[in-house]
Structure 1
């Protein structure tokens, strides 16, 4: 159970700054609680429109850690690791 039920969603903002098509865009998210994998999601997009802004919102219980991997044309372009704190202090 989370201390604050309002912390149950995650929102992404993805912006393509270049005037370039990104083919085979894929985002893989893995969520952990106490180093145990809870959920993993694979999001596959055929392409991202050049110079576009896209939002994505996921609603689920937040874990304490996550790994997000971003691929373009089957090549890793970004890896983001996050640790979440629900204590109200940074």
Structure 2
């Protein structure tokens, strides 16, 4: 079983997914946005349609665990990022809801993030916003990342009560 303590030791991206998708009975992600906190430029934004939330209707095998982000080049020069996440909690409480995320370029760990959402009440919609510093990337590294689409990757690990319940992967390009 993968725990936060094990994930903290990862220095390379995972080859495979470390758990099966959970379906949508625990958590549904409704909105997600990434902005430059200094300029307020929006780099990415997605929102579910305003329809009633349904639970237990999605086959976990049909859920995507991978996404590709295409950010503008100036994303790499941002000093602080504001990330906003809106999610719904199903009929079970989430104790110790936590997301850990590792970002890599060409197999080298750039930055690890560890976000604690804490206890989440059942049948609620929650909004979380976090403003954080982006690791400094010299111009040479930025240029390599621009010229190497798909070689910047991340693993996102979601835990409930220290148990891995969701693992997503992302690839990035900058143009």
2:77 and 2:87 map into 1 onto residues whose CA distance is 24
Higher normalized helix content (fraction of residues): 2
Contact 2:88 2:126 survives alignment (8 Å): yes
Which has the higher Rg, Structure 1 or Structure 2? 2
1:69 alignment partner, one of 151, 157, 161 = 157
Unaligned 5+ runs, structure 2: 1-71, 138-144, 146-151
Over the aligned positions, Cα root-mean-square deviation in angstroms equals 2.8
2:118 and 2:102 map into 1 onto residues whose CA distance is 21
Contact 2:97 2:120 survives alignment (8 Å): yes
1:58 and 1:34 map into 2 onto residues whose CA distance is 26
Deviations 1:10-39 (A, max 9, x none): 634241241332001111110111110011
2:164 and 2:107 map into 1 onto residues whose CA distance is 23
Q: Which structure has the higher relative contact order (CA within 8 Å, separation 6+)?
A: 1
Secondary structure of the structure 2 residue equivalent to 1:4: helix
Matched, 1:11 2:80: no
Pairs aligned (count)? 86
Higher normalized strand content (fraction of residues): 1
Matched, 1:55 2:132: no
Q: Which runs of 4+ in 1 moved over 6 A?
A: none
Contact 2:99 2:156 survives alignment (8 Å): yes
The equivalent of 2:9 in structure 1 is none
Unaligned 5+ runs, structure 1: none
